[in-house]
Amino acid sequence: MTKPTTDQAQASPTKRFFVSMLTRDINLADAILDLLDNCLDGALRLADGGNVDYAQHFVKIKLAADHFSIEDNCGGIPREVAKNYAFKMGREPDDDRDSETETIGMYGVGMKRAIFKMGREALVRTRYDEDTFEVPITSAWLDAKGWEPLPINEPTEAGEKLAEPGTVIRVHELYEGVSRHFANESFENEVRTAISEHFTMFLQWGLKVELNGKPVEPVFVEVLVSERADGPAPFVFQKTIDDVLVSITVGLNTGRSLGNDDEDDSGFERDRSSATAGWTVLCNDRAVIVGDKSRLTGWGDGIPLYHPQFAIITGIIEFRSKRADKLPVTTTKRALDTSSNVWLESLVKMKEGMRVWISYTNQWKNHPRADQSNYWEDAKPLSLGKTIAAVALRSDVKKSDSQIEFNPQKAKVLPEPPGKTPSARRIVFSRPVEEVRLVSKMLFDIDDEKPGIVGEKCFELTLAKAKK
Amino acid sequence: MSAGSSLPYRLRPNKAVDRELFLSLLMRLTPALSLEKYHYVGLGGPFLEDFRLVHARLGLARMTCVETEEEVHKRQLFNRPVASIECVHKTLEEYLDSHDFESPAIVWFDYTEPRGITTQIERFARTIGTVPLGSVLRVTLNANPASLGKPDPSELSVEVDGEASGDRAAKPTIQEWRLARFKERLGALFPSGLTVGDMVFKTYGPSLLRALKLAVEKETLSFRDRRVVWALGTHYADGQAMVTAALVVCAAGDAIIEPFVKGWEFYSTPDAPHRLDLPALSTLERLTMESNDDVRAKMAFDLPKSDMGEDPIAVFKKFYRIYPHFSRVEL
C-alpha cells in the first residue's frame, strides 16, 4: 500500500510542444481557410439563429512576404468571450456558444493554430458593438515558459479603431517558408481556388471575399438534370441519420457532356478531369472535400478505382446539423471522420449512386459522344438542393416520411447506346504522324483528319475486303 | 513539327521580330553570363536558321538540334550550317530526359502543337529545377483559342452586350464553352478567376501565359537554391496566334542578373507580353516611317489594323530596329 507524499509530478503541456505539434497537423492554405471559417461563424452568431444576409459581409485577406492579415465585418468578439474562451488553447466544456446555430467550429483551436503556423508576432483587433480592444501575441510570450494570460489593450488613437463591428488579425515575423509561400503567385492561386471551392455556397449567397485586393468567385458544383419527367436524371438520396440530415446526388457533370471527341491529352498518363469530378462533401454549407477521387469516398472499395473514364461523374453529399460534433469532420475541417456512423451509412448510398453511372459510362465507352448528347440536350446543371427538389417531383421517386430516394437506372430514364452490342471490342494502336498524314491525305484529301477517324476508316475498308 | 513551322521567316514577319527579341536578350546577357560556353538546345526545322544566328551572334559552339520526323532530320544533317551542330532524331522531351547538362544551357521549347498544352507547360516548369544555374529557358505555345475545339454551332448560344439569343439559358456561348475546355485541360494549373472575357483571340494568349507563370512559380517553391527572373514575353500572330516566354534561372541570392534584365529595352514579363503586330510595308513606307517623327503627316492614309487591334504606327515605332526587311534575290 503506497502513501501520498507532498511531491508532485508536473503534467501540464509545454508551450513549445503545444505550438509545434498543433501546427504540424494543418497545411498553410487550410490554416487560412480556418480563419475564414471563424469569420463565417461570426456572421452566423450575429444573425442569432435568423437567416444570415451574407451579402452584408466581407472578408479581406492579404498575403505578403512580410505579413498576413485578415479583416472582416462579421460582428467581432465580445469582451467576455475574449477574456474567457477565445484565446484559450482548446474549447472549455462550459462554453455554450453556438448550441443553436449551424457553425462548424468546435475545438477552439482554429485561430491560434493559424497564427502559430504563420509567424511569431500577431495582433487580434476586434470591435463588438461599440467596444473595441486588441490582444497582442508576441514572440516574447511564445518563448516564455508559462501560460501567462495575454494582455487586452484598448485603442487610444482614432487609427486603432475599427469602422464597423468585426475583427482584424495581423501576423508579422512570418517563418521563412511561410514568407516564401505568401510571396508566391501560385500559392495565392491555390488559396484562391481553395476558397472558391470550399466556400462556394457562401460566395453564391453574396459573401464578398477579397484575396490581395481581388474578389474571389465561387466554383459551381452541379449535376445535369433533364426537365422531362422521363428524361435522364441523377441518383438522389436524402435521409436523417443520427440528427444529421444527409443529402446525396450522383450524376453527370457539365464538363464534357457537350464536349467533342478530341483526344487531347488522352492516354493513361494524363488525367485532366475538372476539379468537380469525383465527390464533393459539404458540412453545414462548407465544402469539406472537393472533387475527391480516392478510396476515401468509395473509389476502389467494392467499385472500380477512379479512372479518367469516370471524369464525367460528379457526386455531392451534404451533412447538415445544428450539432457540430455530429458532423463527420476532423479538427482541420478539411478532412473526414470516416469511422462515424453517419459517414459509413452514407457511403453505402454513395457507392450505390456511383455504380449507376459507372455502368452508364461502361455502356457508352465505345460510342461517339455525340450519340448520347442528344438525350441530354434539355438537361440543366443544378446544385444539390435544386436537384433534389426537381427529382422529388417525379412520379417514380421513392418517398417516405424519413427519406427520399431515386435511382435513374431502376426508373429506366438513362439513355442506352443505339445498336448496343455486347461483343464490341476496342482497338487501339499508334503510328508515326507522317504515316497518319499520308493515309489521311489518301482517304480524305486533307492531311490532318483525326487519327481515330483515319484508323476507323482503314478498318472498315479492310473489313469490306474480308467480307467478300 | 507541324506543317506551318516550316514556312520561311520572310512570310512570318512577327515571328522574325520575336526571334530577334530573343537574340537581343541573349546578347544583353552575354557579358554577365558568358553565353559562349553554353549549350544551346532547340528545334531547327529543315533549315536550322535559328542555330546559324545563335552561332553567329553569340559565338556559341555547342548546339543540339532535336527533330522527331525522320525525313526532316536527314534534311537537317544535309543543311547543317555549322559543323558543330549535333542533330538528334528524338523528341525534345526524350533528349532532355536522357541528357545531363554539364554547362548551363539555353533551351527553346518550341511547341507549335495546340494539343497537350498542359503537358507542355508542366514540362517547361519542371525543367527549371533540372538545369544548371544560369540557364536560359524559352517556350513557345500555341495561343489560338479555336484550338480548344470547335463545338457544333447548334450547341451554342450567342450574347453580345446583354442581347442574347433565345437559347441562351440552355446553351453556352463559345467563350463559356472554351473556358470549360480550358479548365479541363489545365486541371490544377487553371488560374483561379479567369472569365469568359479571357477566352477570345486577343486575350487567350495572356491567359495561357498566366497559367505558365503559375506553374513555374509553383515549381520554384520546391527549390531554395534558385529563383527565376522573367525576361521576355511576347504575343503575336502570323496566321496562328502564339505566345512565348523566356526566363533566366538564377541563384537564389543573385543580385546581378535581375537588374541587367530589367534594364533591357525590351524587358517584358508573362503578365504584360509585347504584342507583336507589325504592318506589312512597302520599302518606301518603311523608310518614311523610320526617318520621320510625324509619320501621319507624311502618309495621308490609314494602315490596316490586324486581328490584334494594335496601332500599326506605334508598334512599328517600338520595334523598327529589329523589324526584318526581306527582299528577293535571284540565284
Task: Report if residue A6 sits inside a domain.
Answer: no
Asked whether the predicted pLDDT for residue A192 surpasses 90, the reply is yes
Residue pair B243/B208 in contact (Cβ under 8 Å)? The answer is yes
Q: In sequence order, which residues have a C-beta less than 8 Å from that of residue A271 and are 6 or more positions away?
A: A308, A311, B187
Q: Between A265, A377, A434, which is nearest B69 by CB?
A: A434
Predicted confidence at residue A208, as pLDDT, reads 96
Residue pair A174/B153 in contact (Cβ under 8 Å)? The answer is no
What pLDDT band is residue A56 in, cutting at 50, 70 and 90?
Answer: very high
C-beta atoms of B118 and A258 within 8 A: no
Task: Report if residue A278 sits inside a domain.
Answer: yes
State how beta strands B105-110 and B136-142 pair: parallel
C-beta atoms of A196 and B192 within 8 A: yes
Q: Mean pLDDT highest for which of A149-158, A182-191, A274-283, A419-428?
A: A182-191
User: Across residues A408-431, what is the average pLDDT?
Assistant: 80
DSSP state for residue A301 in the 8-state scheme: S
Find the residue in A nearest to B252 (Cα): A180
Q: How far apart are CA A345 and CA A322, in angstroms?
A: 19
* Cell numbers describing residue A67: 505579413
Asked whether the predicted pLDDT for residue B121 surpasses 90, the reply is yes
What pLDDT band is residue B115 in, cutting at 50, 70 and 90?
Answer: confident
Q: Give the residue numbers spanning the domain of A362.
A: 223-406
User: Across residues A205-232, what is the average pLDDT?
Assistant: 91
CA A300 to chain centre: 21
Asked whether the predicted pLDDT for residue A37 surpasses 50, the reply is yes
Q: Between A271, A380, A434, which is nearest B170 by CB?
A: A380
Asked whether the predicted pLDDT for residue A114 surpasses 60, the reply is yes
- Best B120, B184, B185 residue to mutate vs chain A (most A CBs within 10 Å): B184
Which burial class, exposed, middle or buried, applies to B282 when counting CB atoms under 10 A from its CB (0-12, 13-18, 19+)? exposed
Predicted confidence at residue A322, as pLDDT, reads 83
Q: How far apart are CA A362 and CA B169, in angstroms?
A: 30
Shared domain check, A442 and A342: no
Find the residue in A nearest to B71 (Cα): A434
Predicted confidence at residue A84, as pLDDT, reads 85
Q: Between A184, A272, A434, which is nearest B185 by CB?
A: A272
CA A278 to chain centre: 11
Q: In sequence order, which residues have a C-beta less than 8 Å from that of residue A74 and are 6 or more positions away?
A: A39, A40, A42, A43, A46, A57, A59, A166, A167
What pLDDT band is residue A388 in, cutting at 50, 70 and 90?
Answer: very high
Does residue B77 or residue B13 have the better pLDDT? Answer: B77
User: Across residues B236-254, what is the average pLDDT?
Assistant: 92
C-beta atoms of A187 and B221 within 8 A: yes
Shared domain check, A377 and A238: yes
**Cα torsion A321, A323, A324, A329: sign:** negative
Q: How far apart are CA A55 and CA A207, in angstroms?
A: 5
Residue B4's nearest CA partner among B119, B142, B150 is: B142
| Stretch among A392-401, B74-83, B96-105 having the lowest mean pLDDT | A392-401
Distance from the first to the final alpha carbon of chain A:
102
Shared domain check, A237 and A210: no
What pLDDT band is residue A370 in, cutting at 50, 70 and 90?
Answer: low
Does residue A463 or residue A104 have the better pLDDT? Answer: A463
Task: Report if residue A412 sits inside a domain.
Answer: no
Task: Report if residue A414 sits inside a domain.
Answer: no
Shared domain check, A155 and A95: yes
Shared domain check, A234 and A198: no
In angstroms, what CA-CA distances link A380 with A375, B93, B157?
12, 42, 14
Q: Hey, where are the domains in chain B?
A: 3-38+103-147+177-275, 283-322
As a whole number, the mean pLDDT across chain A is: 85
Predicted confidence at residue A57, as pLDDT, reads 95
Shared domain check, A194 and A339: no
Q: Between B150, B192, B217, which is nearest A193 by CB?
A: B192
Asked whether the predicted pLDDT for residue A256 surpasses 70, the reply is no
CB contacts, 8 Å: B153 with chain A: none
Predicted confidence at residue A169, as pLDDT, reads 96
Task: Report if residue A269 sits inside a domain.
Answer: yes
Asked whether the predicted pLDDT for residue A273 surpasses 50, the reply is no
- Residue A98: CA atoms inside 13 Å, Cβ hemisphere, count? 23
What pLDDT band is residue A203 in, cutting at 50, 70 and 90?
Answer: very high
CB contacts, 8 Å: B214 with chain A: 185-186, 189
C-beta atoms of B193 and A185 within 8 A: no
The contact set of B with A (CB < 8 A) is 3, 68-71, 115-116, 118-119, 149-152, 155, 169-170, 172, 177, 180-181, 183-188, 190-193, 213-215, 217-218, 220-221
Shared domain check, A41 and A139: yes
Q: In sequence order, which residues have a C-beta less than 8 Å from that of residue A158 and are 6 or more positions away?
A: none
Task: Report if residue A422 sits inside a domain.
Answer: no
What pLDDT band is residue A97 in, cutting at 50, 70 and 90?
Answer: low
Predicted confidence at residue A422, as pLDDT, reads 66
Shared domain check, A282 and A188: no
Predicted confidence at residue B261, as pLDDT, reads 95
Tally of structural domains, chain A: 3
Shared domain check, A231 and A175: no
* Cell numbers describing residue B185: 485541360
Smallest CA–CA separation between B171 and chain A, in Å?
9
Does residue B115 or residue A346 have the better pLDDT? Answer: A346
Q: Between A185, A217, A262, which is nearest B149 by CB?
A: A262
Q: Between B119, B185, B214, which is nearest A185 by CB?
A: B214
Percentage above 90 pLDDT, chain A:
44
In sequence order, what are the beta bridge partners of A241? A244
Shared domain check, A153 and A126: yes
Q: How far apart are CA B26 and CA B105, in angstroms?
A: 12
Predicted confidence at residue A421, as pLDDT, reads 66
As a whole number, the mean pLDDT across chain B is: 89
- Best A209, A214, A272 residue to mutate vs chain B (most B CBs within 10 Å): A272
Does residue A31 or residue B173 have the better pLDDT? Answer: A31
Q: How far apart are CA B13 and CA B10, in angstroms?
A: 6
What CATH number is given to the structural domain containing A341?
A: 3.30.230
Q: Which amino acid is at A274?
A: S
State how beta strands A119-128 and A131-137 pair: antiparallel
Q: Output the pTM of the full model.
A: 0.78
Q: How far apart are CA A101 and CA A324, in angstroms?
A: 9
Shared domain check, A253 and A127: no
C-beta atoms of B181 and A181 within 8 A: no
Predicted confidence at residue A105, as pLDDT, reads 56
Give me the interface pTM, i.e. the ipTM.
0.73
Predicted confidence at residue A270, as pLDDT, reads 37
Percentage above 70 pLDDT, chain B:
96
Task: Report if residue A426 sits inside a domain.
Answer: no
Q: Mean pLDDT highest for which of A133-142, B142-151, B185-194?
A: A133-142
Shared domain check, A366 and A231: yes
Does residue B313 or residue B305 have the better pLDDT? Answer: B313
Q: In sequence order, which residues have a C-beta less than 8 Å from that of residue A359 and are 6 or more positions away?
A: A409
Q: Mean pLDDT highest for which of A318-322, A402-406, B104-108?
A: B104-108
Q: How far apart are CA A56 and CA A212, in angstroms?
A: 20
Placement of cell 467563350 in the chain: B175
CA A327 to chain centre: 15
What CATH number is given to the structural domain containing A125?
A: 3.30.565.10
User: Across residues A400-425, what is the average pLDDT?
Assistant: 82
